[in-house]
Amino acid sequence: MESPEEHILNENFRNTNQITKFCNESFKMNVAQTGVDGRKVSEIIRSKLEEVLATISVNEERVAILLPRGIRKKEYLDMDQLPSVMREIIGDRVGNGRICVSYVDEVKGIEFDIVFVVVNGMSNNEKYIAYTRALTDLTLVFDDEIEEKLKEKEKNKLKSIEKITADISENNMLSIGSGNNIKFGRIKSNKEKAKEYVKAIIVYRCKCSHCDKEIELTQEDVDKYMAADLELPKTCNECKRKLDENINIGNCKYCKKSIVMKRSDFEYLKREKKLKMYCPGCLKKYEEDMQNDKLYQRRECSDCQNLCFI
């Protein structure tokens, strides 16, 4: 059996040449610039962010302000400095004609026309993800206060670990019984127990998009999602299980067979008003007929009484 060939993708078709070049220089990469030309990557200080935002005309564009974890995104912008029209489109929801304030790990795989990246407190991996979210316009925002806030938060976290470590008894004893009740195992150190405790702390909360039930993830769960390059969940496990179930939505208008699909697909088609009561085979025929209707005139045949194209 021949060994598989290895192919390395080294071209960027998504971002403008200016963004690709900036990433190459920032991260010592050598990605080919195969996009279109756009604006030069710009830099501003934090105090100018609202002023620059106010000058943007948001129609169908997607705009994002990406922050490092540890900063409260709902309190980051000074809304009083922004026009009332702009305040209405700012939030954590992604969409055309909206300004999304979000953390980097929440927008993996999502693209925006205009992106502002608050670079302070981000790792190189987070910066690369944030920079490449911008299709045409990238602006770096430098906020020195963030590093001080994150350092203070890290100090408080270390103090908590030290307190937890101190509270755990240093005299770890094996649970010894008689006969078969003797338990053996490696004794965990105080530091290990403290780390396990920190991993179990809830660091991510959001409401399920279907049932409003609160979703909670620990630091360990968030690390797993980021390592697998996956978005953090917006649906609880119970709703996700229901959405993955196949349901019978009715009978096909043509062949009268039962139509079965995933609940998530059904809800999406219904919400987007694209639901058609046809099985896959008849749906293809239906779409072909609709296409032919635009090209030909349909009339009833005088001999066979069937609809024919003329």
Residue ranges per domain, the chain?
11-142, 246-309
**DSSP class of 114:** E
What type of residue is 99? I
pLDDT of residue 170: 45
Q: What phi, psi does 197 have (nearest 5°)? A: -65, -45
The highest-level CATH class for domain 11-142 is: alpha beta
Task: Please give the helix or strand (H or E) that residue 115 lies within, else none.
Answer: strand 112-118
pLDDT in tens, the chain (310 residues): 566 666 566 777 889 999 999 999 999 888 888 778 889 999 999 999 999 999 988 888 899 999 998 888 888 999 999 988 899 999 988 889 999 999 998 898 899 999 999 999 899 999 999 999 999 999 999 998 887 877 777 777 666 666 666 655 444 443 434 444 444 444 455 556 555 655 566 667 788 877 878 888 877 787 777 766 677 788 888 877 777 777 787 888 888 888 887 777 777 777 777 777 878 778 777 777 666 554 445 555 666 656 555 5
Predicted pLDDT at 183: 43
Alpha helices in 124-218 (DSSP H): 124-131, 144-167, 190-199
pLDDT of residue 176: 39
Residue 181 pLDDT:
44
pLDDT of residue 259: 81
DSSP summary character for residue 58: -
pTM (two decimals): 0.53
Residue 45: both structure tokens together: 């200080």
| 26 Ramachandran zone, left/alpha/beta (phi>0; psi -120 to 50) | alpha
The C-alpha atoms of residue 297 and residue 308 are separated, in whole angstroms, by 8
Is residue 21 a contact partner of residue 29, using CB atoms and an 8 Å limit? Answer: no
Q: What confidence score (pLDDT) does residue 288 get?
A: 72
Q: How far apart are CA 71 and CA 165, in angstroms?
A: 27
**In whole angstroms, what is the distance from residue 289 CA to residue 84 CA?**
48
Would you state the pLDDT for residue 9?
66
Residue 89 and residue 103: Cα distance in Å, rounded?
18
